[in-house]
Amino acid sequence: MENRVALVTGAAGGIGGAVVRALSERGVTVALVDRDGDRLTELAKELRNAGGRAEAFPADVTDSAEVEAVVEAVEQQLGGIDYLVNGAGVLRLGAAKDLTDQDWSATFAVNTTGVFFISRAVVNRMVAAGRRGAIVTVASNAAGTARVDMSAYAASKAAATMFTKCLGLEVSKFGIRCNVVAPGSTDTPMLSALWEDDSAAQASIDGVASAYRVGIPLGRIAQPSHIADAVLFLLSDQAAHITMHDLTVDGGAALGH
């Protein structure tokens, strides 16, 4: 993976940050994309101080023109993109009947449309340059397992999952691989912000019968590094014959689905 270029969206988040650190440690030049420009700048500086090559590119993945501009800027400054990680995501909880129009549209704008915008921009440049590459979309085990109060999130992740697989089918002839990593409960700010107290983490592990959640068989919440390891595997040449695959990393919470 050394000397290749990766673009990671959602780089300011828990999983995104773990992915960019792991890529940088392996000698990959990393373009950090997120709306949180201050956090991106801090993280890029941290990676450079550790000997890596990383640059911050603040952008909103829900804006098509902004996405095209930032992908062009990345290639101008860092070189052709070899790897794309779709890590940007938002979570709006609530019963389906109570979700607002804004809840629904905001969730799909980031989790689904954003994946489409950035993937299209990167793939078009890969194909034009004759460059083989790899794309990983970070989805969720909720994409295939119904969850109470998560209808918008689950539906958006299911859509992003199928989009990524269809894209992978279409671009396989160009040597471009497209795969999905589907995490379960992971120790990130997005998850911990939902916890009212320390007992919430244990409830995720033990399961919540009233919400039809069976718990996590491996008995722990995932760390962001667990998800990053799966992402790096699917990007790497070790996965050279894997495409359109959905790799669930949830400690068994979805019972293998």
Report, as residue numbers or ranges, the catalytic residues. Answer: 153
Q: Where are the alpha helices (DSSP H) in the chain?
A: 14-25, 37-49, 64-78, 101-108, 114-129, 151-171, 189-192, 199-206, 224-235
Q: In what order do the strands lie in the sheet with 54-58?
A: 54-58, 29-34, 5-9, 83-86, 134-138, 177-183, 246-249
Give every CB contact of residue 27 below 8 A, 6+ residues apart in sequence: 1, 2, 3, 52
d(CA 83, CA 104): 29
Helix (H, G, I), strand (E, B) or coil at 17: helix
d(CA 175, CA 132): 5
Closest by Cα among 54, 67, 66, 58 to 25: 54
Cα distances from 47 to residues 2, 25, 173, 182, 230, in angstroms, run 15, 9, 35, 26, 21
Beta bridge partners of 55: 31
Cα distances from 102 to residues 108, 136, 147, in angstroms, run 10, 27, 20
The token pair at 127 is 């194909």
d(CA 125, CA 160): 21
